[in-house]
Amino acid sequence: MTNSEKADRPSVVRETDDEARHLALTLLREARAVALATSEPDEGGFPFVSRVLLGIDCDGRPTLLVSGLSAHTKALSVDPRCSLLAGEAGKGDPLAHPRLTLQCLAAPVERDSADHQRIRARFLRRHPKARLYADFPDFRFFRLDPLRASLNGGFGRAYLLEGNDFLLTNAAVWPLAEIEADAISHMNTDHADAIAAYALRYLKSDAAGWELVGIDVAGIDLALGDQLRRIRFVEPVTDVASLRTAFKYLKFGGA
């Protein structure tokens, strides 16, 4: 059954608009950890849910770093079908807070491949403590291909999304990935004032210490302590040369 057929059934599902898509992407991007549901093959497909740290590749695909000794890794190695739950229960009624269910196919990332190097670097910028074990021989990365999602924005506010809604696909995605690490290092070292200005303007935070941990064609990811926050560029970057302009527009609002 496709998402549009599902949406045709009498239900509380609303028409997916840009606001819903933005909320879904933000919930995923700002999640440090998610609940991961896998299907245990030696139990005939019994659902198993556990907590894992979440990374995001430069094309928007979720990534996981997991131990080969764990039940979810054993499951994923045989049956790649999985589902993530992003969005914290927070204060007050746990069901009043928005959350996202994303269904994916997981593929192992070959160690020492270019993918591995990039995914590892992006992951460890979000999760610096994972440096302690990321290179242990039993640990490995998976990259997840999003198939479909369901966003629950609170009671009676349900939306269905396509896997493509989570992917960044323009021509600058991979060229930008090549220079990402250097650009982040440059920004954090030489333009801490700009990072602080973004945090103040977009995150309403005047706290010291926000660091840039990710740049992709659609925006940037900032981290401070337990917080992981997303800021979108005014327009996606379509070539590497325009990254500088995108940052400038963020700071000055494109005036």
Q: Where along the sequence are the contacts to a second copy (CB under 8 A)?
A: 1, 11-12, 32-33, 35-39, 42-43, 45-51, 53, 69, 71, 81-85, 87-89, 91-95, 99, 101, 103, 129, 133, 150, 152, 155, 226
In whole angstroms, the minimum distance from the beta carbon of 33 to a second copy comes to: 4
Q: What is the DSSP letter of 241?
A: G
Helices vs. strands in the chain: H and E counts, helices first: 7, 11
CB 54 within 8 A of CB 33: yes
Separation CA 177–CA 121 (nearest Å): 11
What six digits make up the tokens of 233?
């560029």
Shortest separation between residue 173's beta carbon and a second copy, angstroms = 28
Taking the least distance from each CB to a second copy, the nearer of 52 and 187 is 52
Q: Min. distance of Cβ 141 from a second copy in angstroms?
A: 16
Tokens representing 58 are 């430069």
Nearer to a second copy, 53 or 177 (CB): 53
Cβ nearer to a second copy, comparing 90 with 254: 90
The CB-of-55 to a second copy minimum distance in angstroms stands at 13
- Indicate the SS3 state at residue 38: strand
Sign of CA dihedral 38, 41, 42, 43: positive
Asked if 27 and 99 count as a contact pair (C-beta separation under 8 A), the reply is yes
Question: Scanning the structure block, which residue is given the tokens 């770093």?
Answer: 65
CA 211 to chain centre: 17
Nearer to a second copy, 155 or 252 (CB): 155
- Cα–Cα distance for residue pair 239/91, rounded to 1 Å: 41
- In the complex with a second copy, which residue's Cβ is closer, 9 or 204? 9
Could you count the other beta carbons within 10 Å of the beta carbon of residue 240?
A: 16
Judged by CB, which is closer to a second copy: 158, or 231? 158
**Pick 16 or 152: Cβ nearer a second copy:** 152
Distance (Å, whole) CA 103 – CA 82: 6
Backbone angles phi, psi at 173, to 5 degrees: -55, -50
Q: What's the rounded Cα separation, in Å, for the pair 55 and 122?
A: 7
